[in-house]
Structure 1
Amino acid sequence: MIRDSSLAPVAAIVVAAGKGLRAGQPLPKQFASWRGKPVLRHSVEALLREGVDPIVVVIPEGARDIAETVLAGLEPLRFTTGGATRQESVRLGLEALTGDAPDQVLIHDAARPLVPPDVVARLRAALAEHEGAIPVLPVADSLVHAEGTMMGAPARRENLRRVQTPQAFRYPAILAAHREWDGAADAGDDAQVAQAAGLEVTLVAGDEALHKLTYASDFAAPLPSAPQFRVGSGYDVHRLAPDEELWLCGVRIDHDHGLAGHSDADVAIHALVDAMLGAVGAGDIGQHFPPSDPRWRGAASERFLAHARELVAEAGYMLGNADVTIVCEAPKIGPHRQSMRERLAQILGVDIGAVSVKATTTEKLGFTGRSEGIAAQAVVSLVKT
């Protein structure tokens, strides 16, 4: 048994082989645009951010070209053609991982574009004690059995849960379960296949953000009341210390001191991330990348900025401009300003003209004036897409 399941190798299967006819889109819903990008790309990017490697995308027959187009630039991915049913498609995806033999596998519906990191963490932690885990939500509404168009007997909602994906399993166990499946032609989900094989499947808390896009209304444009523009501000401070690397705006700078922190302590990027998160009401950097989480120890802050960029897109916005001010006595920022702008523009996927990097001092006053640390503030504008 793996004691710390969060450190185990984890792969994923993204099931994208359906037709998605109920969504009312001109092409299967997994390839349709939602909040600025294809639904499938949202799902795959979310899993890649969680360190999943590799990801097998199960696609319809003849859809290789469009799948490669909507997922261009994302690695590590591989594709396999699905079967006539969801269960068969998942089995084919599992078979495509036999050469990798991961410890864990996440099985996810492409039509659930948002994948909260907390849900993935709960699922993986549960695999330390169980062979499978699924995210669920309680049922809030009263339930009844339907007899045609007439009301039948009531159902007890206290014992019912809404099941979501991704669903997590120990890979060898779920592969064997799918190979042995002799139930209905199309199992409702992988937990049913696992349970039929005698596997223990535990429940973890899901998230409303894992809503499955099913109907045309799910692809409706944002409400007219949504603002055309949003503005966010961010501020951060990190202490200067010897024997640390100095990273500012994604650029490593030679200096006798560096910034101390749980990640690479890029104070300028941290301020920019907070500005972007604040503009879409998504909290702050500490909520998404808590310093108590060992996954982010020494992490490159550009990963945080890429995550903020995706949340902005998911909210239906794009970056208008970003203005970053670095406050320090040393090092001199001027010689690095252009490379900083170029790096930020590259991470954000925008033209360099949309990014400003400035510097100032506090005239020897305060902790920055005493060269005890560096501060940064950032302001961004977002435009509705």
Structure 2
Amino acid sequence: MRDVSEKQAADDKVAVVIVAAGRGARAGQANGPKQYQQIGGGAVIARTLGAFLTHPKIGPVVVAIHADDGALFRRTAGANADRVVAVTGGTSRQESVRLGLLALRSNAPGRVLIHDAARPFVDAELIDRTIAAIGERQGALPALPVADTLKRETAEGMIGETVSRAGLYAAQTPQGFPFWPILAAHEKAHHLGKADFTDDAAIAEWAHIPVKIVPGSPDNVKLTWARDIAMADQRLSSAPRFPDIRTGNGYDVHAFEPGDHVTLCGVAIPHDRKLSGHSDADVGLHALTDALLATCGAGDIGTHFPPSDPQWKGAASRIFVEHAAKLVRARGGRIANADITLICEAPRVGPHREAMTETLSAILRISLDRISIKATTNEKLGFVGREEGIAAIATASVVFPGDVPE
């Protein structure tokens, strides 16, 4: 879990504070705090984190957790634990939010969303609506009009009166605010000993920060009781789903220059020329590196290994593939297969295919039957046909954790 100072909070990105320090006693403690209980095969908090970490407008994410939950959070969040900042929360939701906001202060964002970990069904559209309504001095609150008839109880447990529901809304999260005004409001409330606010919009109201209501979502329920957890699990378990399988493509080409061998897919093949490049110019592994990086949106080979950097001169290209595979695994991905097509008139690839496959199996840590290496000529056409160089096309498939709803 990184410190916020290590991440640049760009002005066009929105930070998030997720409140996850509560004990959730009303949901029952038999299976631990509610944010760590299982719904649809995954933890509540893992689903909540995923909604924000996959959103293109979201930057730094801070999670306020209980002092006793560090190991539990890491275990439950998996690879996402290293993509967020975890801070120890307070004894109340209000105090946890304040501590989460303070963690962002050294690299302050322009806007921040504050969300309850126990609302795992927040969706991208709701996040977008909330972000769009945040102004320089204006917050945003997703809410739903109250539909039920409201009654006020007497001291004797009888109906005292019917309360008009006109203009009444049920508040949800994420609630969004300009960063500095909401932090100042929390700090002021803390120093004055005012600790009875039930949400951040209430603190904003007290601090005279206007808050705009935006349409909430009926699906964005807060899991409070054990029955809520059970119903959420049933909802996810019965929903049509498909696995999160991603496919990436890569392409590379290198020209020939004087030499005595070429390196293809990690195997040195005797030849009357070699491939020109800053590293060992292995077109097959370069294309595969790009394909793997593409499955997790991690840029391309030049992003991680710029040819202008002298340390990569003559480097073995397996280093690049190993780095890309490590990034994939760090995000929870499992490499399902790799397919490489080498396009050249010479040298012959067939006699070396088995050695190439074994090399890739060791690099990627997958079985031989999940690797395909093919070769084709260019029918004497173009630069490949004139034997001026070699090209390669690679495709990689990676399975990431967590099913995606249809």
2:95 to 84, 88, 92: 88
The one-letter amino acid of 1:58's match is: A
Per-residue CA deviation, residues 90-139 of structure 1 (Å, 9 max, x unaligned), is 11211122111111111110101133111222222222465211211233
- C-alpha distance in structure 2 between counterparts of 1:137 and 1:338, whole Å: 58
Residue correspondence of structure 1 range 63-78 to structure 2 within 5 A:
63-73=69-79, 74-78=81-85
1:9 aligns with 2:6: no
Contact 1:25/1:216 (<8 A) preserved:
no
Q: Give the alignment partner of residue 180 of structure 2, picking from 172, 182, 190.
A: 172
| Alpha-carbon offset, residue 340 of structure 1 | 11
Q: Which runs of 4+ in 1 moved over 6 A?
A: 224-232, 322-326, 334-343, 355-359
Q: Is residue 72 of structure 2 the alignment partner of residue 62 of structure 1? A: no
Q: Do residues 34 (structure 1) and 35 (structure 2) align?
A: no
Q: Secondary structure at the match of 1:220?
A: helix
User: 1:57 Cα shift?
Assistant: 1.5
Q: TM-score with structure 2 length normalisation?
A: 0.57
1:174–1:338 distance in 2 versus 1, CA, 3 Å: farther
Alignment-mate amino acid for residue 168 of structure 1 = G
Q: Cα offset for 1:195?
A: 1.4
How far 1:228 moved relative to its partner? 11
Unmatched 5+ residue regions in structure 2? 1-9, 252-281, 300-324, 374-392
Tell me how far apart the structure 2 counterparts of residues 337 and 131 of structure 1 sit (CA, whole Å). 59
Residue of structure 1 in register with 2:25 after alignment: 21
Query: What is the aligned counterpart of 2:110 among 91, 103, 115?
Result: 103
Q: What CA deviation, in whole Å up to 9, does each residue of 1:344-367 have, x standing for no partner?
A: x9xxxxx968x97999xxxxxxxx
Q: SS of the residue aligned with 1:198?
A: coil
1:169/1:230 Cα in 2 relative to 1: closer, same or farther (>3 Å)?
A: closer
Q: CA deviation at 1:201?
A: 1.0
SS at match of 1:96: helix
Partner AA of 2:20 in structure 1: A
- Give the conservation status (yes or no) of the 8 Å contact 1:53–1:76: no
Amino acid at match of 1:146: R
**Which region of structure 1 is more displaced relative to structure 2, 205-214 or 194-203?**
205-214
Which of 162, 179, 188 is matched with 1:153 structurally?
162
How much has 1:23 moved relative to structure 2? 0.9
By how many angstroms is 1:54 displaced? 2.4
Determine if the alignment matches structure 1 residue 217 to structure 2 residue 223: no
Q: Does the CA contact (< 8 Å) of 1:17 and 1:82 recur in 2?
A: yes
How far apart are residue 339 of structure 1 and its match?
A: 11
8 Å CA contact retained: 2:44, 2:117: yes
Counterpart code for 2:143: V
Decide whether the 8 Å contact of 2:11 with 2:109 is kept in 1: no
Residues 63 and 86 in structure 2, CA contact (< 8 A), matched pair in contact too: yes
Change in Cα spacing, 1:98 to 1:69, as seen in structure 2 (3 Å) is same
Measure, in 1, the Cα distance between the counterparts of 2:230 and 2:366.
Answer: 32
Q: Secondary structure at the match of 2:106?
A: coil
Q: Distance in 2 between matches of 1:352 and 1:167?
A: 44
Structure-2 residue corresponding to 1:117: 124
Contact 1:144 1:151 (C-alpha < 8 Å) held by counterparts:
no
Q: CA deviation at 1:224?
A: 11
Residues 177-188 of structure 1: pairs in structure 2 closer than 5 A: 177-181=185-189, 182=192, 184-188=194-198
* Greater Cα radius of gyration, structure 1 or 2: 2
Q: How does 1:355-374 map to 2 (within 5 A)?
A: none
What is the rounded CA distance, in whole Å, between the counterparts of 2:168 and 2:28 in structure 1?
Answer: 30
Q: How many residues align?
A: 325
Shift, 1:151, TM fit: 6.0
Which residue of 1 is the match for residue 305 of structure 2? none
The answer as to whether partners of 2:135 and 2:177 remain within 8 angstroms in 1 is: no
Residue matched to 1:293:
none
Q: How far off its partner does 1:227 sit?
A: 6.4
Give the 3 Å change call, closer, same or farther, for CA 105–156 of structure 1 in structure 2.
same
Matches within 5 A, 1:227-246: none
1:102 aligned counterpart, secondary structure? coil
Partner of 2:199: 189
The 1:160–1:336 alpha-carbon spacing in structure 2 relative to 1, beyond 3 Å, is farther
Q: 1:20 corresponds to which letter in structure 2?
A: G
Do the aligned residues in 2 keep the contact of 1:25 with 1:32 (CA within 8 Å)? Answer: no
Tell me how far apart the structure 2 counterparts of residues 101 and 170 of structure 1 sit (CA, whole Å): 10
Structure 1-normalised TM-score? 0.59
| 1:55-78 Cα distance to aligned partner (Å, 9 max, x none) | 221122322222232223233322
Q: 1:357 to 1:211 in 2, by over 3 A?
A: farther
Q: 1:43 aligned to 44, 48, 53, which one? A: 48
More off after superposition, 190-199 vs 65-74: 65-74
Could you say which residue in structure 1 is the equivalent of 2:257?
none
**Residues 16-57 of structure 1, C-alpha deviation per residue, up to 9 Å, x if partnerless?**
111101112421111222222221222222211125332221
